[in-house]
Amino acid sequence: MSIAIAIDGPAGAGKSTLSRKVAEELSFIYVDTGALYRTIGLAAARKNINKEDTNGIVSILSEIKIELAFNDEGAQIVLLNGEDVSGLIRTPEASMYASAVSAVPEVRAFLLDLQRNIAKSENVIMDGRDIGTVVLPDAKVKIFLTASAETRAMRRYKENIEKGIDCRYEEVLRDVNERDYKDIHRDIAPLKPADDSITLDTSELDFEGSKQLILKTIKENI
């Protein structure tokens, strides 16, 4: 039997980077489910489908084949109809489209089996928004990784400044609060901790401290 660990939580809590590192330490496969939504977003963007056009988004699903592969370092590669789109899905446009397509029930249903099948055969750490609640309700350990809106906004603000992107902290904080509100209040797959999840708050922790806390929590509950 393979072991599944679900890590859910709001944007900016450090889920992807931390999950990847923790998976490396445990020799588990890391599955970034946001990349799947981004890939469908990219496909919709390429077809110039309007973000509000639910029927248009649904119509492209029959033309799409998404596969996940892993390179020698264990990094995830996403293939859209055989093309490696791992880099292309990281643009702000793909991100906006990912958010739009992720609110479409048919898209979520389309990705469900793909996500579940990976966890059937491999030990996985899967990160997303609804992994513990919907995708892998029987996951061995469920972590809800969070940090205060102020901390997440400050982390993003510093990242932007380091990359030379000019921004104001107050604006980043407003965006974080807006995105949280949307994620929590959407009708389909709203962001919420599974009843049997363990909430870890990394507001007061640095990266290494957060990683150690996650590893300790997994080891105590596996």
User: Smallest distance from the beta carbon of 145 to ligand DC, in angstroms?
Assistant: 12
Residue placing its CB nearer to ligand DC in the complex, 161 or 188: 188
Instruction: Give the amino acid at 211.
Output: K
Residue pair 18/210 in contact by the 8 Å Cβ criterion: yes
State in angstroms the smallest separation of the CB of 173 from ligand DC: 18
**Around Cβ 141, how many Cβ atoms within 10 Å?**
21
The length of the chain in residues reads: 222
For CA atoms 160, 165, 168, 174, give the dihedral sign. Answer: negative
Q: Note the residues at the interface with ligand DC (CB under 6 A).
A: 11, 33-34, 37-38, 98-99, 102, 128-130, 189
Identity of the residue, 72 or 138, whose beta carbon is nearer to ligand DC in the bound complex: 138
Taken in order 68, 73, 75, 80, the sign of the CA dihedral is negative
Query: Which residue number, 109 or 219, has a Cβ lying nearer to ligand DC?
Result: 109
d(CA 41, CA 163): 25
